[in-house]
Chain A
Amino acid sequence: MTNLFWLPSDQYVTQHVRIWLAQPIEKGIFSKASLLASLLRRGTERYPSQRQIVEALESLWGAEMHTQISRVGGSQLTTISLQLPDGRYLPQAGSELLTEGIALLTELITQPHRMNGLFPQDSFDQEKERLQAAIENRKNQRSTFAQQRLQELVYGDSALASPRSGRLEEISALQNKDVVDFYEQTLRNSEVIVGLCGNHVEDFTVEKAQELLSWPRQPLVRQPLAAWSHRQEVSETKEVLPGEQSQLLLAFSSEIAYEDPLNLPLSVFNGIYGAFAHSRLFRTVREEHGLAYATGSRLDRATGVITAYAGLEASSAALAKEKMLEELHRLQQGDFSEEELHMTQQTLCEQLRGMNQEAEGRLDFRINQILMKHGDADDMMNQIQAIKREQVVEAAQRVHLHTTYFLADREDQ
């Protein structure tokens, strides 16, 4: 039986269908999953070419279909999503839109166009080339490139080091048969979760959706992800990529796992430290010292790793690093105001409220809730509001510098 949920609401003007395929992360999985996601869009038995699929979507009043590769905790997630207009507002579209949409999504997953068991070779070659081009082009975004390099330096040999769209060297080695094998493995072994969000449609029931979306497979045992460990010695790397601006990144480990009671306090710490426009990094590195336009910090709650970043002139890097560490130190001493704590709690709660108003946000929230086994939005907001300054300080004190990365814009820096 497919794990299916429906979030009914008459608030929306579109209907949303998501199919998630979750598998445990392992080395090389992101490359295979990315190429597979591209190939699934290339054709089905009913619509053998992608052009026909695009036409079919246009005929479904511009329905939008996307695929996405991501990681939630220790799972690799392939998301196939469809957004359809709600027939209430397009009377001629009728109530069959949702059924047609789900049928198309199911076909994409279970009946991809294949020849002698393989994906059509020209489609395979084209998608492989496109994916490689997309990965190469990411280098054009200097900050993204730097983030990825840092991720590699922090996570080293682990599967966590891989970018979500995969690695060039892995993708170039993939053969048609490899991806077909991965496809079959995915169908067999993935945990499949289906989410619907939108207005109730007459004649359309959860049972009907179940029926449309069923295929045999085995349940998956979910592996919790351990928090990332501290290093004995901080690793420092400097690289040169000629350009206009340098990138400074600091990664911190906390050894606070997702299940750790300090995990939400860590999230509050990150909010005071760098996640928002009221945070310390924005206030000091940007507003007070004018060192950077883009600066802040991000937290990966699954691994407990925090990354602080700034795009700046190379000559400002030493001062910016000093400020980033100084602010961390201050927070570790409990040197932050009640107002900063309050603003951060408010902003985190508002993010959750905002997310749980929009259909897409609700679906994102729910899949996280299922995979990470956390409470609903109200639970989380109550937990965030109840966090005391001592817990934030305790979480902050667990934060240690792990890896620094400096991408210089010229040789001589």
Chain B
Amino acid sequence: MVESFQIPFSIHEKVLSNGMHVTVVYRKGFKRMSAQLAFPFGSLHQRLQDRIGLEQEIPAGTAHFLEHQLFKQADGSSISDAFAVLGAYDNAFTNFDHTVYMADCSDNQAEVLQLLLDYTDQPFFEKESVENEKEIIVQELMMYKDQPEESLEINLRQGLYGQHPAGEDIGGTEETVRKVTPELLYACYDAYYKPTLARLVVVADLPAEEVFALAESWGSYKRAGFSPLWPASSTSPGAESEFSIVARAARPLIGLGFGDYRKTPQSGPALLRRQLEMDILVDLLFGRSSAFYWQLMEEQLFGSSFHSDYHATPYFGAIILGADSLDPVQLKNKILTYLNTPDLELIIEPEAVARLKRKTLGELLSAFENSEELAINLVTAGLYGYRFTDIPQQLQEITETDLLNRFRELLVGRTPVVSYVYPNQEIETNDVDYEEISE
């Protein structure tokens, strides 16, 4: 069945004379602007080249550190104050392969956009401030370390990607964070925050030409000739395929991963196509409308949730299943037995596939509702080299045979990486030591 889809807003794209890629979504009558400026620098980038061609190592977590530091102004203030004065909200995040700076506002849209462009163009990294930031980031890492779900995921990624940096924490470790210096940050900024690598997405009731004009002058920072080096793809799993740790968790947790390895980084429409195929396949097999999900529910093999997902970047990808379970080993066995069921391929049938394609189309439309979410999607699509609006066409072309091929390629006869977290104490909630002092 062919489903039609009408893109709700007009989308304007341009490569400016400074090399920056800009996308403007013209949302007429909508009073709020969402702007995002992204650079392809994330935790996977661990080497760069200096001006004479020598390779320099980048400690794990540097991209995230740079993101924190870019907020710092020469006068000691934070750029967030300047946004607040304009009535704007600003934020930023770093992931495996990019860093995004964002600003949202209703009033003063052009000024806010200008401010976003200005501060990202004026790095100021100073020793005392960098040293102070280390303490803050170490506390951030401790916060994640305190979450058993994070430890579960780190082990799972180590098993899936081995020595590849996808196996490491995006924020690095206390040890690597302490190695960061202002000089290193300037070198990374120089290499990866180039206008030709930058992507700006603005969703607003603003004429595209006005946005293009504002962004035209970005890139005034004087560069010293550092060049980026791009990560390799994850080609094989790590040495270990089973991890089990004891942590402060309320209930046992399990994560299972089936790696999707590639010889070279994959991007463009092929990456999008694979993501869409895998979303449907994973839903068919493990989603909330699958018979298997409800079988697990009836046998109470998971506690509060059983989730399944396929996630891919150009450099790595995997199907990830996860749950809290009082009997995680039994759950794992159940999943493996299920995947070996004769005739399981029959699950890939036209009616269910058509229903899930419909669902994907509806979700695509919903992604246009929230400007911030839309901007994130467009940033990712731009960096990964595909068009977000190609989804309906791509979706339409997916056949049952494609899904069958993905199933055989990624799941049949494969041994998953398994990560367990077991509670270090009895399952009881009131196990805290209690002591009350009254003044």
Contacts and interface: CB of A to CB of B under 8 A. Distances in A.
User: Are A and B part of the same complex?
Assistant: yes
B140 A343 contact: no
Contacts of B85: 339, 342-343, 346
Nearest to B424: A242
Interface of A: 10-14, 49-51, 54-55, 58-64, 83-86, 88-92, 122, 126, 129-131, 133-143, 149, 168, 233-245, 276-278, 283, 286-287, 290-294, 311-313, 339, 342-344, 346-347, 349-351, 353-354, 357-359, 409, 411
B106 A354 contact: yes
A312 B365 contact: no
B6 A91 contact: yes
A13 B366 contact: yes
B436 interface: yes
B238 interface: no
Interface string B6-17: 111000000000
Contacts of B89: 347, 350-351, 354
A409 B7 CA distance: 51
B285 to A, nearest CB: 14
Contacts of B250: 136-140
Interface stretch (B131-139, B209-217, B331-339, B376-384): B131-139
A236 B359 contact: no
B297 interface: yes
A89 B438 contact: no
A143 B432 contact: no
Given A54-B288, A58-B356, A140-B249, A245 B435 contact: no
Nearest to B326: A133
A168 B429 contact: yes
Prevailing SS type, chain B contact patch: mixed
B362 A63 contact: yes
B333 to A, nearest CB: 20
Contacts of B294: 49-51
Contacts of B293: 51
B369 A13 contact: yes
Contact of A236 (B6, B132, B142, B439): B439
Interface stretch (B49-57, B145-153, B394-402): B145-153
A60 B260 CA distance: 31
A239 B365 contact: no
A243 B119 CA distance: 37
Interface string B46-90: 000000000000000000000000000000001011001111111
Contacts of B359: 58, 61-62
A322 to B, nearest CB: 16
A234 B140 contact: no
Given A54-B288, A62-B366, A245-B139, A354 B132 contact: no
Contact of B427 (A136, A277, A339): A136
A11 B28 CA distance: 8
Given A137-B324, A277-B81, 16 more contacts: A10-B29, A61-B362, A64-B366, A83-B366, A91-B4, A126-B297, A131-B304, A133-B324, A137-B250, A140-B149, A244-B143, A244-B145, A245-B145, A353-B31, A354-B32, A357-B32
Interface in B419-437: 424, 427, 429, 432-437
Contact of B436 (A131, A236, A313): A236
A235 B139 contact: no
Nearest to A351: B89
B243 interface: no
Contacts of A138: 250
A349 B87 contact: yes
Contact of B433 (A239, A276, A278, A351): A239
Contacts of B107: 350, 353
Contacts of B361: 61-62, 85, 90
Nearest to A137: B250
Best-buried of B6, B137, B303, B363 by chain A (most CB within 10 Å):
B303
